[in-house]
Amino acid sequence: MSAASTCFATCAPGLEGVLHAELKGLKIGLIERQVGGVRFQASPREVARVNIGLRTANRVLVRVARFDCPDEDALYAAAREIPWETWLAPDGCVRVDAQVRDSRLDHSRYAEQRVKDAVVDRMMDLSGTRPSVGTIDEVDVGIHLHLHRNRATLALDSSGPPLYKRGWRTAQGRAPLTETLAAGLVLLSGWDRRAPLVDPFCGSGTILVEGGWIATNRAPNIERSFAFQRWADHDKRSLERERQAARDAITPRSKLRLWGGDWDTSRVMETEAHLEAAGLGQNADIHKADAREFTPRDGWNANIVTNPPWGERVGSVDELIGTYSAFGQRLREHGSGCHLTMLSSEPRLLDAIALPGPRTSLPNGATPCTVLRGEIE
């Protein structure tokens, strides 16, 4: 990777526009929004920058080849021609993941095996040493195969463990929102980063942590490691320059208010611990509180971003309808001037809020979800 490469940052469907804006803010060129992510051109140093700075991306893939793939033999032959020794040491560890759709070669596991065979055979021919095969957390080179309509794309996974693994989380909680989706909700809300950020169902505090880092311009992955650091051609100095640039861009904000409430004392303690771990303890105001009695302060004009229980892993839909209804009533009575952004997988619960506003699709993993957004009048 000595020159610009075609890259693809993946994200949850529905966040492509947010991710596109993030890449533009990081001064990345030739950005093209696509389904499930954004394609762009990046130098090795820019690959480091986007891994450090993207809040809504799951991982960043760097394309190494694209070719017609009518069958397994064509896949093996093309994969074997790629100079894997540029990135993989002879005694290194490799992993292949495949997505296969609408192609003659329609078995993803078999497609993965053919690519592995090609990589291992090439490395054996060059060095006489056989690379090992490992899990995503231990590999030196992760390879992603995308095969669609007999057209194959092979890419290097530059991220390694998913980018939502920021490093601040000390407790998992009962039904935590991923960090990337939480950041996406805050960015979708249109928060001005000056009004209080409020989460009346704060759980383990994911939304508040991600919002606090957005407000202070703290890149989410400054301190974590990435897969590209184990590539044979990795430039350590470029990565450190990008890390330092991200550190220099942090802007502490003493007046930033992050308010959270949860009925469960254990969740309150988790939120407080997570905000402290994220360097936001001085901005936090966390309480044991019942959302059915939520009362925004007069003149707050708060930005309320929340992910209440959906009735899947916490509670049941029938049990929660009353909670949602009471919460909506409190917002109508006391929340004038506030802005609400709420995620839920259950339409009946969103209906129980009884607040107007556009609804958009935003899946949470395999669960179809909806985001409700609107000003409270």
Per-residue model confidence (pLDDT) at position 173? 61
- Please check the confidence at residue 172 and state whether its pLDDT lies above 90: no
Q: What is the pLDDT of residues 204-220, one digit of tens each?
A: 999 999 999 999 999 99
CA distance 211 to 191: 9
Give the Cα-Cα-Cα angle 123, 128, 129 (nearest 5 degrees): 70
Would you list the domain boundaries of the chain? 5-157, 179-216+252-375
Q: What is the pLDDT of residues 280-302, one digit of tens each?
A: 999 999 999 999 999 988 888 99
Q: The domain 5-157 is classified under which CATH number: 3.30.2130.30, 3.40.718.10, 3.10.130.10, 3.40.1080.10?
A: 3.30.2130.30
The model's pTM? 0.92
Q: What is the pLDDT of residues 92-118, one digit of tens each?
A: 999 999 999 999 998 999 999 999 999
Concatenate the DSSP letters of all residues of 121-156 into one string. HHHHHHHS-PPEE--TTT-SEEEEEEEETTEEEEEE
Asked if 189 and 157 count as a contact pair (C-beta separation under 8 A), the reply is no
Domain at 179-216+252-375: CATH code? 3.40.50.150
CA distance 269 to 281: 12
Concatenate the DSSP letters of all residues of 353-374 into one string. H-----EEE--BTTB--EEEEE
Sign, CA torsion 276/278/282/287? negative
Nearest Cα neighbor of 14 from 31, 49, 32, 38 is: 38
Asked if 335 and 301 count as a contact pair (C-beta separation under 8 A), the reply is no
Amino acid at site 49 = R
